[in-house]
Amino acid sequence: MTYLKTYGPRADPVTGLTWGLMDLSLAVIVIVTGLVVVGVWMRRSRQPWPALASLPLGGSGGGTAWITIGVALTVLALAGALAWTVAVMAAVAAPATTALTIEVTGHQWWWEARYLGLTPDQTFSTANEIHIPVGRPVLLKLYGADVIHSFWIPALGGKTDTIPGRTNLTWLQADRPGVYRGQCTEYCGLQHAHMAAFVTADPPADFEAWRARQQQPAAPPPDTAAAGEPLVVAHCGACHTVRGTGAGGVVGPDLTHIAGRETLAAGTLPNTPNGLAGWIANPQALKPGARMPATDLSGPELGQVVAYLETLK
Ligand code: HEC
Ligand SMILES: [Cu+2]
């Protein structure tokens, strides 16, 4: 999570501006402090304090020229900063082309990412871990499901709020493969801090392979894990979708390819069999207030559910 080093044309101009304005501010502080110190020093050494107090105020000493110079320099510096800011805003306003459009919805407390395809069967939904092709501009349509959240992947671009009833647009481009961490940056309730987002920039061929896999419904489980599927449909299907099964809820993240994710519950815990079992048995212990209740599965049933979910690559 760094915004002082960035990796793409959506973020780089802003970083240059950030450093530039910071340097300018530092230069102002140094120059003004220096002048004040010099002024105090010269007056002190020349005259004792009572004489200073009785100095006449007036323009005849030639001191007003300094005010003119000071105002002129300030106006120049601020005008330069304004021009630079406007130029950067224009440069990052919108990409010339977009390779892909993703609808990102902020929920309490997770991110839904819906990839639009040319036909409905190419459209799919995933959560918290957003894959993009490296080196290509990606358009994000931002929605808010409940309260205002703010989507921020600092190394790739600035913040944009997700506001219920509004569609905000932003875009990202990563010039290097890698995983870029982000975070909700608009306080949105109890678990605001556990609302991370990850953007994974894949080489184009890897991205296409990932997307093709995500577009597929869940593969029928092997016999060893088959007992978990009806349990998931019965206990989880009202809130979660597993495409290709009877589970079709839209309250929580789409679980069709849950085993392909690195983390669970917006970066709250790693996606391991133990993490999964712990989460399903008692989400409230790991993320108090999360919109998922503890489930009333028996121990063996929990094992079957986890074994089934682990097959959903
Ligand atoms: C009342 C609705 C509801 C029910 C029932 C429910 N969940 Fe959830 N689930 C959620 C919500 C909401 C989240 C997102 C929580 C968060 O990250 O804050 C979630 C998150 C998850 C996640 C993490 C997904 C991710 O992408 O990080 C898993 C795995 C999961 N649920 C599995 C299950 C299983 C298995 C069941 C059934 C035994 C179940 N859930 C029942 C609402 C529900
Ligand atoms: Cu938040």
* Cα 229 from chain centroid (whole Å): 33
For 92-106, 229-243, 256-270, 278-292, which range has the lowest pLDDT when averaged over its residues? 92-106
For 17-31, 88-102, 297-311, which range has the lowest pLDDT when averaged over its residues? 88-102
Q: Is the CB of 257 under 6 A from ligand 1?
A: no
| pLDDT above 90 as % of the chain | 81
Region for residue 128 given its phi and psi (left: phi exceeds 0; alpha: psi -120 to 50; beta: otherwise): left
Give 146's pLDDT tier (boundaries 50, 70, 90).
Answer: very high
pLDDT digits (tens, 9 = 90+) for 271-291: 999 999 999 999 999 999 999
Q: Is the CB of 270 under 6 A from ligand 1?
A: no
Å from CA of 191 to ligand 2 middle: 7
Which residue among 112, 114, 239 is best mutated to probe the pocket of ligand 1, counting the most ligand atoms within 8 A of its Cβ? Answer: 239
Q: Is the CB of 251 under 6 A from ligand 1?
A: yes
Give 98's pLDDT tier (boundaries 50, 70, 90).
Answer: confident
Is the pLDDT at 96 greater than 90, yes or no?
A: no
Å from CA of 103 to ligand 1 middle: 20
pLDDT digits (tens, 9 = 90+) for 159-218: 999 999 999 999 999 999 999 999 999 999 999 999 999 999 999 999 999 999 999 999
- Report how far apart the first and last C-alpha atoms of the chain are (Å, whole number): 27
Q: What is the pLDDT of residue 50?
A: 58
Task: Look at the domain 223-309 and name its fold.
Answer: Immunoglobulin-like (2.60.40)
Whole-model pTM: value is 0.90
Q: Is the CB of 280 under 6 A from ligand 1?
A: yes
Is the pLDDT at 301 greater than 60, yes or no?
A: yes
Give 59's pLDDT tier (boundaries 50, 70, 90).
Answer: low
State how far the Cα of 295 lies from the Cα of 238, in Å rounded to an integer. 13
Q: What is the pLDDT of residue 248?
A: 95
Of residues 312 and 45, the one with the higher pLDDT is 312
- Closest-CA residue, ligand 1 atom 39, reads 236
Q: What is the pLDDT of residue 121?
A: 86
Q: What is the pLDDT of residue 27?
A: 92
Q: Is the CB of 264 under 6 A from ligand 1?
A: yes
Average pLDDT, stretch 11-21? 93
Q: Is the CB of 113 under 6 A from ligand 1?
A: no
What atom in ligand 1 is closest to the CA of residue 264? 27
State how far the Cα of 115 lies from the Cα of 269, in Å rounded to an integer. 24
Q: Which ligand is nearest to the CA of 149?
A: 2
Average pLDDT, stretch 109-134? 94
Which pair of structure tokens corresponds to residue 152? 């921020």
Q: What is the pLDDT of residue 95?
A: 85
Of the candidates 279, 127, 273, which has an alpha carbon nearest to the alpha carbon of residue 196? 127
With both helix axes pointing from N to C terminus, report the angle between 299-309 and 273-281 in degrees, rounded to the nearest 10.
130
State how far the Cα of 129 lies from the Cα of 141, in Å rounded to an integer. 16
Q: What is the pLDDT of residue 158?
A: 86
Question: For the residues of the chain, what is the DSSP string, one character each?
Answer: --SSS--STTTHHHHHHHHHHHHHHHHHHHHHHHHHHHHHHHHHHHS-HHHHHTPPP-STTSTHHHHHHHHHHHHHHHHHHHHHHHHHHHHHS--SS-SEEEEEEEETTEEEEEE--SSGGG-EEEESEEEEETTS-EEEEEEESSS-EEE--TTT---EEE-TT--EEEEE--SS-EEEEEE--S--STTGGG-EEEEEEE-HHHHHHHHHHHHSPPPPPPGGGTTHHHHHHHHHTTT-B-TTSS-B--SS---TTGGG-SEETTTTEE-SHHHHHHHHH-HHHHSTT-S-PPP---HHHHHHHHHHHTT--
Q: Is the CB of 133 under 6 A from ligand 1?
A: no
For 47-51, 81-85, 102-106, 142-146, which range has the lowest pLDDT when averaged over its residues? 47-51
State how far the Cα of 78 lies from the Cα of 60, in Å rounded to an integer. 30
Which pair of structure tokens corresponds to residue 204? 């184009």
The sign of the torsion formed by the CA atoms of 158, 164, 166, 172 equals: positive
What is 100-214's CATH superfamily?
Answer: Cupredoxins -  blue copper proteins (2.60.40.420)
Cβ-contact 216, 242 below 8 angstroms:
no
State how far the Cα of 137 lies from the Cα of 204, in Å rounded to an integer. 12
Mean pLDDT, rounded, of the chain: 92
Give 306's pLDDT tier (boundaries 50, 70, 90).
Answer: very high
Which pair of structure tokens corresponds to residue 257? 């390819």
Of the candidates 249, 215, 245, 260, which has an alpha carbon nearest to the alpha carbon of residue 118? 215
Q: Are strands 178-183 and 196-202 parallel, antiparallel or unpaired?
A: antiparallel
Average pLDDT, stretch 78-106? 93
Is the pLDDT at 97 greater than 80, yes or no?
A: yes
Q: What is the pLDDT of residue 51?
A: 56
Of residues 157 and 268, the one with the higher pLDDT is 268
State how far the Cα of 75 lies from the Cα of 280, in Å rounded to an integer. 60
